[in-house]
Amino acid sequence: MPSIEVTAARGMGAVTGTNRPEPSVERKGSSDWRVALIVVAACVAVVAILRIVAAGGESAGQSTVATIPTPVVSASEGCANFARYWMEKSGVGVSAETIEGMSNCRRAADGTWFVPNGPRDPRLGDLPSLTDEEQAATADLRSELLAEIAALEATFPPALRRALDQIRDPSARAVRGHLREDWQTPVGPARGRYTRLVQAYLMAPERQRLADYVGWLMARRLSAFEEFQAACLGRADLAYLHNACSGVENALSVRYPPFPWELKDPLNLDAYLLAVARQLANS
């Protein structure tokens, strides 16, 4: 948009033909300055008195700003809130399997929601897990995948490594996993750079097995999200929720490769190895 310059013209006083003396400008100006100085001196004196009076008060020495306490929601409570809203309160009515497929939340046999601490979490109940034979059959693949993930991380430039460290939360949060929810640490820039690097890295033929693993995780999450999206966007009476439903895609990084900590997550890795073992058994 072009800038607009405003020019102010200073008026010139007209010369009169009379010899009437003008009022003394200097006298008026000096009087105004004396008044101003008196006002400033009075303000300084008031501030000094107030500081002396407050020096021994209860608030003396306190430089921090009090904040309103807010309740801390646990990961389990966050999962329960997320699932309850999209399964019941919103009217979208998605299934528990859809919630599990696009998030890190899981539902126990008694109906409670939680974030599992690993594939051996007893709250997972009777979910399929690797047998001893399947573990032995996929042991080499597990080792190879973990080595490839480590090699991938070794290619990260220092700037990308720092960016990923900034967006990663050491504690697993509800729904989004280890991604921070702080607005001061936006995920987008780091995710974009990471995506470009991973795409280039996985193009090499010798990294086909890691590419298969990444593709499997992405396909599982995308499939669940598409079920979620169809349930929301397919109904005219839920038009007011369409933006929120579409926003879930970006919030959960649905169409982006999993972050390194997601690739190394034993729950994800075991689920993939179980799928591979069953495919081998059926071939």
Looking at residue 180, what is its pLDDT?
87
- Only one residue has tokens 């200097």, namely 26
Q: Please indicate, yes or no, if residue 60 is contained in any of the structural domains.
A: no
> Looking at 184-268, which runs of residues are DSSP E strands?
none
Q: Let me know if residue 175 belongs to a domain.
A: yes
In a domain, 242, yes or no: yes
The range of the structural domain enclosing residue 259 comes to 131-282
Alpha-carbon dihedral 122, 125, 129, 133, rounded to 10 degrees: 80
The count of domains in the chain is 1
Question: Could you give the count of Cα atoms lying within 13 Å of 222 in the half-sphere of its Cβ?
Answer: 10
What are the structure tokens assigned to 247, written together?
């926003």
pLDDT of residue 240: 95
User: How many whole angstroms separate alpha carbon 228 and alpha carbon 217?
Assistant: 17
Q: Does the structure show a pLDDT above 70 at 2?
A: no
- Return the minimum-mean-pLDDT range out of 28-37, 102-111, 138-147, 157-166: 28-37
Asked if 95 and 87 touch (Cβ cutoff 8 Å), the reply is yes
Cα separation of 140 and 234, whole Å? Answer: 44
Both tokens assigned to 132: 């001893």
In the predicted structure, residue 200 carries a pLDDT above the cut 70: yes
Closest CA to 244 of 78, 71, 85, 77: 85
Residue 121 belongs to some domain of the structure:
no
- Residue spans of alpha helices (H) in 21-138: 25-54, 75-84, 96-102, 132-137
DSSP letter for each residue of 246-272: HHHHHHTTTTSPPPHHHHT-HHHHHHH
170 domain-assigned: yes
At residue 155, what is the residue type? T
List the helix and strand counts (H, then E) for the chain: 11, 4
Burial class (CB in 10 A: 0-12, 13-18, 19+), 194: buried
State how far the Cα of 158 lies from the Cα of 162, in Å rounded to an integer. Answer: 6
Domain assignment present for residue 157? The answer is yes
Q: CB–CB of 167/179 below 8 Å?
A: yes
DSSP code at position 50: H
**Considering the domain boundaries, does residue 227 fall inside one?**
yes
- DSSP designation for 206: G
Task: Give pLDDT tens digits for 229-250.
Answer: 999 999 999 999 999 999 999 9
Does the pLDDT value for residue 32 go beyond 80?
A: no
Task: Tell me the residue type at 113.
Answer: W
Q: What is the model's pLDDT at position 95?
A: 97
Do the domain assignments include residue 239? yes
Which residue carries 């795409």 as its tokens? Answer: 199
For the cut 70, the answer to whether the pLDDT of residue 79 exceeds it is yes
- Report the largest interatomic distance among the alpha carbons of the chain, rounded to a whole angstrom: 117
